[in-house]
Amino acid sequence: MANVLFFHMCFFVLFILLCQTLTGAYNSGFSAQLIRQNSPNSPFYKSDKLHMHRLGLFYQVPKKSYAPIGPFARVTSNNGDYLMKLTLGTPPVDVYGLVDTGSDLVWEQCTPCQGCYKQKNPMFEPLRSKTYTPIPCDSEECNSLFDHSCSPQKLCTYSYAYADSSVTKGVLARETVTFSSTNEESVVVGDIIFGCGHSNSGTFNENDMGMIGLGGGPLSLVSQFGKLYGSRRFSQCLVPFHADPHTSGIISFGDASDVSGEGVTTTPLVYEEGQTPYFVTLEGISVGDTFVPFSTSEMLSKGNIMIDSGTPATYLPQELYERLVEELKVQSGLLPIDDDPDLGTQLCYRSETNLEGPTLTAHFEGADVQLMPIQTFIPPKDGVFCFAMAAAIDGEYIFGNFAQSNILIGFDLDRKLVSFKPTDCNNQ
């Protein structure tokens, strides 16, 4: 989501849970463990032996793993997005927000909440927290929001909208965030600015309690932690959504987010100070050895695609998408499905296990990123695998989170770099 909850194609309905647990109180940064919603470690887990075993979803993963040192905290997600668990207030209350590199504001649904979407868990009650502090409307933090105003009590009220017309309205405030750790000690981070949403609507479901903005703007969690840890950088290592449900991935901040070692490639981040989305330059995509350029009709523009953890699918120019589909048909050697109205015009194949090939390579400026079938084909239903990319209909090109799985991706806002490293993101 780039100010951004993009429409999801119907077959991209997945469940991924982000669990962040603090492994220790390191001033250099911290790490967050990512767990899908169908994991037994998820608070939303429901035992379902049919879930993945019927699909035969076992695969070869990269040998190198990634295990950063740092604090942990729980998180949750669904529908192909990631939900991070934050513990807010005093006394602490667990809240779950969608993790989104395409937006900035951290917000949760708060009482009283009129016109809000249905939420399964209790809403955050600011009046019960001893550390909840509303921000005045004449403050620098309030002025950093595009759409803000003053309440009769001179408090900073906001309205924050997303591309799919979802909206949150409420009061900007400071609050204490508490993370748990593997040694059962608590790590407290004070004065985190967040939105206490009192009127929220849009494409949310009952597990969503708000949003965790990881964009590049001044109020994002990345920027706020940057002030604490001395650098505005983070990394993520997402497990494939149809991996073993007992596995998990990692999100890290500060020094714990370092991406280094064998196999790392780096591309310039086309980023300006205060900008929210993370744009990079995609030169083209290869299917096997066949290179398909990003565009054949116009000069390649810098920053032509956004890396977005809040969007499952990858959205490409129409011409690029169509040529990729044709190359996949030729090189796969399989017969595409053309008699299932539920699948529409997607490129899909009947198979009990994921495809063995071909391999795609995303050619970013200075960085070639190999994408295996587990990152480019997903199962919308039993015995069917579909291409997890689509043609963008609004000119917004996105490198989605399906393609980002099993890659350690580092975002360094200060150095304006994005790093990629093929990684086994399971059990981190």
pLDDT tens, per residue, the chain with 428 residues:
644 433 343 333 333 333 333 333 334 565 655 545 545 445 444 433 322 222 333 233 333 344 444 444 333 346 677 777 788 999 999 888 888 899 999 999 999 998 899 999 999 999 999 999 999 999 998 988 888 999 999 999 999 998 888 999 999 999 998 865 444 566 678 889 999 999 999 989 898 999 989 999 999 988 988 887 778 998 888 878 776 656 667 778 777 788 999 999 999 999 888 788 999 999 999 999 999 999 887 678 999 999 998 888 999 999 999 999 999 999 998 999 998 998 989 999 999 999 988 999 999 999 999 999 999 999 888 899 999 999 998 889 999 989 998 999 999 999 999 999 999 887 55
User: Class for domain 29-255, per CATH?
Assistant: mainly beta
Active site residues per annotation: 100, 308
Outline where 162-289 has alpha helix (H).
221-229
Q: Tokens standing for 412?
A: 């360094």
This prediction's pTM: 0.81
Distance CA(112)–CA(127), nearest Å, equals 10
What CATH architecture is 260-422?
A: Beta Barrel (2.40)
Q: Are 428 and 32 in contact (CB under 8 A)?
A: no
- The H or E element containing residue 331 is helix 318-332
Q: Where in the chain is the domain with CATH 2.40.70.10?
A: 29-255, 260-422
Q: Tokens 């084909």 identify what position? A: 377
